[in-house]
A and B are shown apart, each in its own frame.
Chain A
Amino acid sequence: MKQYTYFPGCAMGSTGKPIQASIDAVCEVLDIELIELEGWTCCGCPGESINELAATAIATRNLAIAEKFKLDMVTACSCCYRNLLAAHVTYTEDPRIREQVKKALAATNLEYNGTLRVRNLVDVFINDIGLDVIASKVQRKLTGMKVANYYGCHQTRPYGPDDHEFPVWQDQVSEALGAETVFFPLKAQCCGGTQLFSNKEMIYKLLYKILDNVEKHGGECISSTLCPLCFTNLDANQGRINNRNGEKFEMPVLALTQLMGIAFGLSPKEVGLNKNISPALKAVKPYLKSKVQEVVK
């Protein structure tokens, strides 16, 4: 059993619910225990565009609490991941900000010593669990499924350990599940999730580019980063975007852990697939009938 402190982040309790359900289910199979950080609050990311210092201070509060447990802290939401990690980097490397954040934290008697490791769940899958263990848990091999892995921004940029331009870890996981991965150049291009409210036309165009890119390169479904913002943006907005042929996109979108759960033999409901808005079920249906043995499409 591997143990981690877990920082869910605000969106995992709302738009991220299907992702969280699949994370819980998959972690059980992989013998990972995620212990929710008690008293966690917003990671600070929503404030960063207009108040970097406040965002860093709020993030560091969470770091200070988590540090006491002497476990790595894991997040699945990419925005939380980046902002918490950014706060750690700034705190340890920038003496000016460190002093200011220290002062702010003093209002709560909390102190951060800079010893916490902030990690993304995909990093844990690859580096702590391993692809061979993941492959060994597969009950329904996803043979023939053409999966396009979408990473978004903050899982890798600017700090994540996977490649910033062409990350591969999600692809490796999908391959371990037996799926065929599709390379598409926009796999780590921004989906614009943060500005969906205020800049809709711009965001629809970013989404169009990604979905079109997936289609053009032969992707039959998207396995998305575990970020609720990216996931929801891709999953919920297709009904408003036309593809090249002037029809609405109907690309199944699954979070990576939903795909893993299906391959591990779990039911669609156990991995929250009943809550996806895109036709996600369609992508996995051919594989649901068979358990244990390999399915050929």
Chain B
Amino acid sequence: METETIKEAKSFVDEVAAEPGGEKINECIQCGVCSGSCPTVEWWQYPPRKIIAMIRAGKRDMVLSSTSAFNCVTCYSCTVRCPRNINPTQLIHAVEAIAEREGYKPKTPTLTLHRGLRDAMMQGRVWELRLAMLFYLKTSLLEGMKMMRVAWDLISRGLMPLLPPKQTKKGGKEVTAILKAVEAMQKSGGAK
């Protein structure tokens, strides 16, 4: 008979394995090359290798409420070095995706940023100024003020357009249709 902990561990690892990029989690040999390659590792409470170990041990709440995975800057240093071809980058993204979807609230503005980026993508073409303003409105106006200098450097050179980017109507419509279809699949549980 399985104990509760083993069951929990199994279900969390299966949950991660069902995400795109999480598939190979069981093949990790815990060598630590990913953590050793990670340029931001000093900011992670649980470095990438440890996250994998924790997922396999069923520490679902600890992993999903931690800010650790949100320090991933998607540099793929770990991925090109992982001896087991695991793609730790995408595995970490899978953790971020589950945490976001399940309403966990790790204390980091990066979650808000990721949501903002995703929403910007849904507009068809990204409008940086809107992205930045929404982000600072939702997180910290003070931080936004501190960025005024660099914003002005960009705006005064025409490098941060004040108007939304031009795009074809068809493009925007198609993006919306595709994302709706993706969302429907994800909601029905047919896809992650």
Contacts and interface: CB of A to CB of B under 8 A. Distances in A.
Interface residues of A, number: 63
A52 interface: yes
Given A15-B128, A49-B93, A53-B182, A153 B114 contact: no
Nearest to B174: A108
A48 B19 CA distance: 12
B165 interface: yes
A158 B71 contact: no
B97 A105 contact: no
B11 interface: no
B90 interface: yes
A197 B159 contact: no
Interface stretch (B28-36, B50-58, B115-123): B115-123
B178 A190 contact: no
A49 B181 contact: no
Category for how many chain B residues contact A: 35 or more
Interface stretch (A56-64, A66-74, A129-137, A177-185): A56-64
B170 interface: yes
A198 B113 contact: yes
A104 B190 CA distance: 12
Given A47-B121, A55-B121, A157-B80, A100 B74 contact: no
Given A49-B72, A198-B108, A41 B175 contact: yes
Interface in A143-189: 153-154, 157-158, 164-165, 189
Contacts of B108: 198-199
28 contacts: A14-B165, A17-B159, A41-B171, A44-B121, A46-B121, A46-B126, A48-B93, A49-B93, A50-B100, A50-B115, A51-B97, A51-B118, A52-B20, A53-B20, A57-B179, A57-B182, A61-B174, A104-B178, A104-B182, A107-B174, A107-B177, A153-B76, A189-B75, A190-B73, A192-B39, A199-B109, A200-B146, A275-B157
Given A47-B117, A105-B178, 19 more contacts: A11-B128, A15-B154, A41-B171, A45-B121, A49-B97, A50-B97, A53-B185, A54-B118, A54-B179, A57-B179, A104-B179, A190-B40, A190-B75, A195-B110, A198-B113, A198-B139, A199-B109, A200-B143, A232-B154
